[in-house]
Amino acid sequence: MPNDHKPEIGSTIVIQKETFNAILSRLKEKGYETIGPRVKNDTLIYAPIEQMDDLPRGYITEQDAARFHLKHTGHSRYFDAIPGAQSWKQFLFPPRAELFALRKVNNLWEASTPETKTPSYAFIGVRACELAAIQIQDNIFMRSDFNDPIYRARRERVFILTVDCMYPAGTCFCVSMETGPRVKAGFDLNLTELEDVFLLTVGSEIARDLLKGIPFELASAFLLRNADQGLERAASQMGRKLDISNLPDLILNNLDHPHWQEVGARCLSCTNCTQVCPTCFCWDATDEMSLDGKETHRERVWDSCFNPGYSYQAGGNTRPTIRSRYRQWLSHKLGTWKQQNGTLGCVGCGRCITWCPAEIDLTKEIPMLQEEAR
């Protein structure tokens, strides 16, 4: 095979697993900061990775309502551990970002924007649900009538390597939300991990160039069938499911349903669900002023509709109770989001279920509205 041979877009190639290190090196040579799943403090986070050994090989995650457990089973695969609390959101929509600074010079205010270099990230191991979440946030931050410069600059530079999910966790329900477990479109490279080899599907010209000269073969029908079978098995092993056939109407027609009160009594209003949600995008802008009053920095920070102060405005709080805040969240996520953006705001990743300390599980709450409605 000639050394400058490149696979075609849309083709699926097979590489030896150790070859993946060369791909990581090339991404770094091209100036990307490679980010992927890593084990830290006995849990799973997204952080810079240098080589394959940094990936959570041999780990799985056990997930249920209010329960997350990273477990080492000693298997030989790199991408079996379903993600934890963190999502890619933190890289494209950073939890804190300085917007501008004002300085008083000769009694006049001078504004300046921070001179920060926009990072070029290569996301290694984006799940199908997570890619769907990024696409949903694209609709929020890069609209035709409005676009967020911080998000846009990062998003346009990002390289996305997706991974098909072979072993979903207990709180996964991407099949119900029609986002996974198979990655469909919107990636640079999609990786399917089989026992001995990686299959890579090429999704962009950048990925083609990246693979130039890397030894590969086109995936055989046998391997492709192996992958299909794995994905079919994964689809049948979802830990949760949700009937979305009558959403958003079910929610919007039941805004005074007594079940909201019942959930409100259990909800901590702690904001965890919204912070771990890969599509939630609410933020606040805060000013930090120097003691001499001559300098102030405005920062954008993650906020949440569960923050009692979030809905406070002149005259009072429009959502003064936990019931009203929970209803706002769910009726937006699985209701009015559709009218706003054309899709529901949930991708079925299950984070809000796993990371709710009070074990509130939207796949159980929504059927409660359904039961009564019938």
Partner 1 sequence: MDKNKPTVAVYKFSSCDGCQLSLLNMEDELLNLADAVDLAYFIEASRATKPGPYDIALVEGSVTTPHEVERIKEIRQEAKFLIALGTCATAGGVQALRNFADAGEYAKIVYDHPEYLNYLPTATPISEHVKVDLELWGCPVNKAQVIEVVVALLNNRKPNLPTYSVCLQCKRRGTICVLVDKGIPCLGPATIAGCGALCPASGRGCYGCFGPFRDANVPALTEALQKVERYPGETMRLYRGISGNAPLFVKAADAILSTGTDTRKETK
Q: Which residues bind partner 1 (CB under 8 A)?
A: 41-43, 45, 66-68, 84-86, 90, 95-96, 265-272, 275-276, 286-293, 301-304, 306-310, 312, 321-322, 354-355, 357-359
Strand-pairing partners, residue 298, are 100, 287
Nearer to partner 1, 148 or 188 (CB): 148
State the first-to-last Cα distance of the chain, in angstroms, to the nearest integer.
63
Which CB atom, from 79 or from 306, has the smaller least distance to partner 1?
A: 306
Of 72 and 212, which CB lies nearer to partner 1 in the complex structure?
72
Least distance to partner 1, CB of residue 211, Å: 32
| Geometric angle at alpha carbon 229, from 354 and 79, rounded to 5° | 45
Whole-number Å distance between alpha carbons of 170 and 166: 13
| Torsion over CA: 209, 212, 215, 218 (sign) | positive
Going by their DSSP bridges, the two strands 108-112 and 121-127 should be labelled as: unpaired
Give the shortest CB-308-to-partner 1 separation in angstroms: 5
Contacts of 319 (CB under 8 A, 6+ apart): 305, 310, 311, 325, 328
* For partner 1, the closer CB: 6 or 89: 89
State which residue, 249 or 359, has the beta carbon closest to partner 1: 359
Q: How far is the CB of 167 from partner 1 (least distance, A)?
A: 20
The nearest distance, CB 286 to partner 1, in angstroms, is: 6
Residue 291 CB, nearest distance to partner 1 (Å)?
4
Q: What's the CA gap between 24 and 22, in Å, rounded?
A: 5
Give whichever of 124 and 211 is closer to partner 1, judged by the CB atom. 124
Residue 266 Cβ vs partner 1, minimum distance, rounded to whole Å: 5
Report which residue type is found at 350. G
- In whole angstroms, the minimum distance from the beta carbon of 43 to partner 1 comes to 5
Q: Residue 253 carries which side chain, given as an amino acid letter?
A: N
* Structural contact between residues 115 and 230, judged by C-beta atoms closer than 8 angstroms: no
Give the residue ranges of DSSP H helices in 50-107.
Answer: 89-92
Cβ proximity of 351 and 85 under 8 Å: yes
Buried b (16+ CB within 10 A) or exposed e, 154-187: bbeebbbbbbbbbbbbbbbbbbbbebbbbbeebb
Helices 128-141, 149-157: axis angle to 10 degrees equals 140
Question: Among residues 3 and 41, whose Cβ is nearest to partner 1?
Answer: 41
Residue placing its CB nearer to partner 1 in the complex, 8 or 292: 292
User: Which of 232/288 has CB closer to partner 1?
Assistant: 288
Closest distance of CB 214 from partner 1, Å: 33
- The one-letter amino acid at 143: R
Minimum distance, C-beta of residue 147 to partner 1, in the bound complex (Å): 23
68 DSSP β-pair partners: 63
E strand or H helix at 300: strand 295-302
